[in-house]
Amino acid sequence: MRGSVTDPCRAAGHPHRRATVRTVATAALLLPLIGAAPADSGSSTTGLQSAFASAADRYDVPQSVLLGVSYLQSRWDTHAGAPSVTGGYGPMHLTDARTALAQAAPHHSEGSEDPRGDSARPPLLPKARLPELSRLPARLRTLPRAAELTGLSTQELRTDPAANVAGGAALLAAAQRELGRPFSSDPADWYGAVARFSGADDRATAVAYANDVFDVLRSGQERRTDAGQRVVLAARPGLAPDPGQLRGAGLRAARAAGTQCPPTVSCEWIPAPYEQFGDGDYGNHDLGNRPASQSIEYIVVHDTEGAWEGVLKMVQDPAYVSWQYSLRSTDGHIAQHVKAKDVAWHAGNWFVNAKSIGLEHEGFLARPDAWYTEAMYRSSARLVTYLAKKYGIELDRQHILGHDTVPGPTASTIRGMHTDPGPYWDWRHYFELLGRPLVPAAGRNGGLVTIRPDYAANRPEYTGCVTAGKLCDAHGSSAVRLYSGPGESYPLIKDIGLGTTPTTGVNDLSSRVSTGQQYAVAGRDGDWTAIWYLGQKAWFRNPAKRPAAVNATGLVVTPKAGRASVPVFGRAYPEAAAYPADVPVQSVSPLPYSVLAGQRYAVGGSTPGEYYYAVSFDEGSHRVVVGKDVYHQIQFGHRVAFVRAADVRLVPSRS
């Protein structure tokens, strides 16, 4: 989706179609116990580490448990007091949604992108009014509850990291007391309280959350936070808690029957409707028979631009659009809406829709501190790993696409394509969780580079997050900016398909590459590296001491001898002769770009031309048309694209 300019305290739409001893308590909780970090947390004595020690001591919660829960919530970051997408504050992600959430424009109802992306049917420009948020669930009101338990003000809990940690400790202690469990020093005895801390109202989600926390405790963690503080949690590999601690907790059973999820996540079935609703229209997806009828090649990562409850109501609207899975920020809970065999309407390109699975993550593109929780990143990574193994999908940025890397299918659609999940999605961390860390794969002469800046330290300027033309808050980013020469005094690279002057706007992708994407090297000049990008040389700063990319090698395409240029396509459709008589021929129209002689582009795979004809409710009329023309998928600009194999040579990048 395209992130809309919003007020910093707004946060709730979606993206598709169609008390007591206040003074004493405050003083006690905000005084750090310098040097008092217990043995199981390492030797660091930073202010935040000491705050964990102080809160653990005050509320009789094992410090390792407090650290483990906080890591899964925020990776110990404070985000300078800014709320997450669900109104969560501080290292414990204490939620106060009424102060942080408001209605926003639905993702797929904003802009001009047709989510279905099929020119065989009239454009689908969904309109939906976000439902009013009713009474907020308990998981979105943990900060006011922490204020009651600690006597601290809600303002302190939002803005002071030590107070926030104390609030989290108080919530864990309250959960332990409510479960009738002993205040033991053994972390294994706190499994039930950790599960309750998630705020989940179903057992599967609570268990999945607690299992994640205990995975963190067993493996240990160490990192420097966004405030520059080193926090350490020593590994406890032998921890074996008893899930039976949740007996009697009053948690409901999720509707898991029929879901296609790994057992390591919490998943429920909330189906998108497939029904007729007049004038030959139906919603909000097409039935298919994948992978028997056609392979699934892509997983598309979206963000919702809306809060969980509203998003779920939209995907159940037959006049809106659809996607396969939604993921919740607070605890990583997953809802599946469309079977993997069926084709959801989400990516804005019918070729990609027909060969992809869409994942919507609760979040906001244009709000750099509406941060995603570690719980959601981990749940998403487990789901993607499971789907990739089940359907043979490659775990790389050529096949794990952001919505912002899906190409416009035709020239007229380029400007309307969406830009989520945006520059603040942490692709480097995500691929580490996928078990495919982005590492150097060649020497300096490998011919390719994989974009890989240090997320936290990489802070390019963006505008338009809150107010059009105004600077966004400085924040870590997965994106790297491109210039027309080796220096920031040169103009930004221009995308001729957009036909506009490039800017630093948060939604302007014309001069931007993203972590994990691979490009052919076109030159080097000191600290600067040039790549082939949109038919031109594009330069980015890449100093040896703080590189923005690592070297790689692989296959590239270049025009065949004697060809001055070859066309670029946004979809890989079959040649006209491949269509049977009962399926209208779809045009194979090039985008307004060319691969010029001497240029090279990284290859993400090859496929025969393919088109899924499904324009009616009756699935008996659906057809999969496969042609003889073969296409190579390439990383052409920020988005992927396709070239005909007949037009190019496929060669090693080293040559």
Q: Which residues of the chain have pLDDT under 70?
A: 1-45, 99-107, 109-111, 127-134, 655
Residue 529 bridge partners (DSSP): 524, 540
**CA distances, 604 to each of 190, 393, 569, 593, 639 (Å):** 46, 12, 14, 18, 12
Q: Given this model, what pLDDT does residue 3 score?
A: 58
The answer as to CATH 3.40.50 being correct for domain 22-102+140-246 is: no
Over residues 56-73, the pLDDT tens digits come to 999 999 999 999 999 999
Q: Given this model, what pLDDT does residue 132 score?
A: 52
- The pairing of strands 325-327 and 356-361 is parallel
Q: Given this model, what pLDDT does residue 122 score?
A: 81
Q: Given this model, what pLDDT does residue 288 score?
A: 96
Domain boundaries, the chain: 22-102+140-246, 438-551, 559-652
Q: Given this model, what pLDDT does residue 2 score?
A: 57
Q: Are 565 and 557 in contact (CB under 8 A)?
A: no
Task: Return d(Cα 317, Cα 284) in angstroms, integer.
Answer: 8
pTM of the model: 0.89
State the Cα torsion 544-550-553-555 to the nearest 10°.
Answer: -120
Using alpha carbons, select from 513, 648, 637, 650 the residue that is nearest to residue 567. 648
- The pairing of strands 334-336 and 325-327 is antiparallel
Task: Return d(Cα 243, Cα 270) in angstroms, integer.
Answer: 26
Over residues 27-36, the pLDDT tens digits come to 333 323 222 3
CB environment 358-382: b (16+ within 10 A), e (fewer): bbbbbbbbbbbbbbbbbbbbbbbbb
Instruction: Could you list the beta-strand ranges (E) of 141-296.
Output: 221-224, 230-233, 267-269, 275-276, 282-283, 285-286
Q: Are 352 and 302 in contact (CB under 8 A)?
A: no
Structure tokens at 156: 């302190």
Residue 28 identity (one-letter amino acid): A
Q: Given this model, what pLDDT does residue 201 score?
A: 87
Q: Given this model, what pLDDT does residue 547 score?
A: 97
